[in-house]
Chains A and B, each alone.
Chain A
């Protein structure tokens, strides 16, 4: 089983729709979680951190479910510009921190 797993997609949804995808992780000691956005042939850029209480930034909402070991990203009122690959990142701290990137979920918004 991979340490961090994401549905690769692609998710193809119409503009204005709400879309959500999850990222599961296997290490229960994981402590920090992030969502990054990566456009085609570009570097990943931080979208948002994920806090235990959940957090919202405009149309984007991130949540963490420690019991089931997954994080989620919800995008409301999707825009054409939201088309990208979304990477989840899970960080575990032990003797040395370990950062694991998911392989990404591709999202395509159609007009």
Chain B
């Protein structure tokens, strides 16, 4: 099946710990995105990538890092510098940057212990 997957579904982070969220797509999409959603809020863009080995900061990139070594994969690392990481993290992909429909993965819920 074609689609976009995220893992894990739930992730617990201890104080001072870096954690990495996985996002994989087999849709052959060029563009991939990471969003953060807080309760009752809309989606806020963390990072996006239009092509392999290239990515740009979104509106709330501080405390996060990404890599795009393969077209299919766009992992997000939540670093210890992110002081309020508890949120629902959504990965999306589209055929091109912005112009086409975005398809979302099922999300990862990150909780701080």
Contact = CB atoms under 8 A, between A and B. Distances in A.
Interface of A: 4, 8, 32, 34, 41-46, 49, 87, 89, 91, 93, 96-99, 101-104
Nearest to B91: A43
B104 A45 contact: yes
Given A43-B104, A43-B107, A99-B45, A91 B99 contact: yes
Nearest to B38: A103
A92 to B, nearest CB: 8
B97 A44 contact: no
Contacts of B44: 101
Contact of A103 (B42, B88, B98, B105): B42
A4 to B, nearest CB: 8
Given A43-B104, A43-B107, A97 B99 contact: yes
Given A101-B44, A103-B41, 11 more contacts: A4-B42, A8-B40, A32-B99, A43-B104, A44-B43, A46-B101, A87-B42, A96-B56, A97-B97, A97-B98, A102-B42
Contacts of A49: 101
Nearest to B33: A99
A87 B101 contact: no
A9 B41 CA distance: 13
A34 B42 contact: no
Given A43-B90, A87-B42, A99 B107 contact: no
Contacts of B80: none
B77 interface: no
A93 B43 contact: no
Contacts of B105: 43
A-B pairs with the 6 shortest C-beta distances? A97-B98, A103-B42, A43-B104, A101-B43, A101-B42, A91-B98
